[in-house]
Amino acid sequence: MSQRVPAVELLSIGDELLLGDIVDTNAPWLSRRLGELGVRVARRATVGDDEEDIVRAVREALDRTGAVVCTGGLGPTSDDLTRPAVARVFGRRLRLDEDALARIRARFAELGREMPERNRVQAELPEGATVFPNDWGTAPGFALEDDAGRFVVVLPGVPLEMERIFDAYALPFLRRRWPEGARPLVHRVLRTTGIAEAVVADRIADIAESIRPLTIAYLPRVTGVDLRLTSWGALDAADAARRLDEAEAMLRERLGGYVYGTDDDDLAAVVGDALRRRGLTLALAESCTGGLIAKRITDIPGSSSYFFGGLVTYSNESKQALLGVREATLVAYGAVSEQTAREMAVGARRAIGADVAVSVTGIAGPGGGSPEKPVGTVWIGIATADGVETRHYRFLGERDEIRERTAQAALALLWRHLEREARP
């Protein structure tokens, strides 16, 4: 049975957001929390510290969905205009809320200070507002509702204060607006690497129709393409979980070994689990990535149980001195070559004493390329007791992108090598 999913719009307020001085982390956080409540965020917008712009944005949002959550513009200075703007939308006057003022005074007293007179304005709230006390700062939040049931929830812009006021006060307010309870908005992300977005789309084109009412969204990143499966509230929790399991199985079957995890899985952690299960240790020899692979591996707690260490051999001299790469190899083939990658991997395994060694050598740019070896040319090697495997890549992008793609490719190659070796 279908059920209409409640929808809200988010409005972030502040010139600092438009100028790029501050990144808006409030809107993504609210989107996730509202999704858990079963509420769909229909639109997100940002406006500056202009009362007319705020009034217009709130009115338009109310006309579309009847529910708005605003953040920002509740401070004590002249550019904090959310309170009077929202009051105007509802035709209300601002009045001094004595309880709110007492809380602000008490907050300053806790800090051993007297409240500046300018903070008094933070207690001036629209008539008829439901006040959300701020136990973590000075600016209270509030909600305002009209006779038609349309409402605006207003929260401070400081992330910590916004989050805590939302959970403590705004969330119960929203639940009262939908007393029957909404079906959850449920997401599941499949993480792929080593396959282009267009290729993914071609392979799974027919699946999108067969899994409705679930939807598939493509989320391309430098390191791969994530596929987000979403149940938008048309299913209850049990049905949504079952359908997500079925859809995930279909996608995994179609995409094979390109799927390495779900949700927040990190490929470095997946590799670590594979090494740990097999009782293997790892060494690295990095050139163009400059230690980026080692960083990703050591970002994982407990990685010391399988990661023995790595060498960043950026120059030809260090490749020879630390890894035993032969001068003849470098002269004949160059630092960026299959032969050098092979000797780097063998040398790292020997020097560090690990079971498996991975090497990377490439041209990250912007200079250093040639017609034979353009920028983005990368060779990766894997050395084990059974021999050496190498792979050639050509990555596009700026320097940082090429380095990130190289690190991801090295981890992916190692992961697939370990999975392949584990098969009977």
pLDDT, tens digit (0-9, with 9 covering 90-100), for 140-166: 999 999 999 999 999 999 999 999 999
Confidence band, pLDDT 50/70/90 cuts, at residue 67:
very high
Q: Is 241 left (phi over 0), alpha (psi -120 to 50) or beta?
A: alpha
The per-residue DSSP string of 356-423 comes to EEEEEEE--SSS---SSS-TTEEEEEEEETTEEEEEEEE--S-HHHHHHHHHHHHHHHHHHHHHHHH-
Q: Is the pLDDT of residue 23 over 90?
A: yes
Looking at every residue in the chain, the average pLDDT score rounds to 94
Q: Is 191 exposed, middle or buried (0-12, 13-18, 19+ CB in 10 A)?
A: buried
| Share above pLDDT 70 across residues of the chain, in percent, rounded to a whole number | 96
* pLDDT tens, position by position, 348-400: 999 999 999 999 999 999 999 999 999 999 999 999 999 999 999 999 999 99
56 pLDDT exceeds 50? Answer: yes
> Is residue 319 pLDDT above 50, yes or no?
yes
Confidence tier at 128 by pLDDT (50, 70, 90)? very high
Q: Are strands 387-394 and 377-384 parallel, antiparallel or unpaired?
A: antiparallel
By CB atoms closer than 10 A (0-12, 13-18, 19+), residue 19 is exposed
Label residue 270 exposed, middle or buried (CB < 10 Å: 0-12, 13-18, 19+): buried
What pLDDT is stored for residue 40 in this prediction? Answer: 87
Q: How confident is the model at residue 422, as a pLDDT?
A: 59
If one counts every other C-beta atom within 10 angstroms of the C-beta of residue 349, the result is 26
Q: What is the pLDDT of residue 38?
A: 81
What local confidence, expressed as pLDDT, does residue 179 receive? 62
Name which of 216, 213, 149, 143 is nearest 183 in CA terms: 213
% of the chain exceeding 90 in pLDDT? 89
pLDDT of residue 125: 97
Strand partners, 381: 359, 390
Instruction: Give SS3 for 281.
Output: coil
pLDDT at 421: 66
Cis peptide before 172 (omega within 30 of 0): no
pLDDT at 118: 93
16 token code pair: 């600092």
- The amino acid that residue 359 corresponds to is S
Structural domain boundaries of the chain?
A: 7-177, 185-262, 267-422
Least confident of 13-17, 156-160, 232-236, 343-347: 232-236
Could you give the count of Cα atoms lying within 13 Å of 362 in the half-sphere of its Cβ?
Answer: 33
- Does the domain spanning 7-177 belong to CATH 3.40.930.10? no
11-20 confidence digits (pLDDT tens): 999 999 999 9
Summarised one tens digit per residue, pLDDT across range 102-125 is 999 999 999 899 999 999 999 999
**How far is the C-alpha of 46 from the C-alpha of 71, rounded, in Å?**
10
DSSP character at residue 167: I
Residue range 185-262, CATH number = 3.30.70.2860
Per-residue pLDDT at 37: 83
What's the pLDDT band for 4 if we cut at 50, 70, 90? low
pTM (2 decimals)? 0.78
When pLDDT is cut at 50, 70 and 90, the band that residue 236 belongs to is confident
In the CATH scheme, what is the code of domain 267-422? Answer: 3.90.950.20
| Calpha distance 392→342 (Å, rounded) | 12
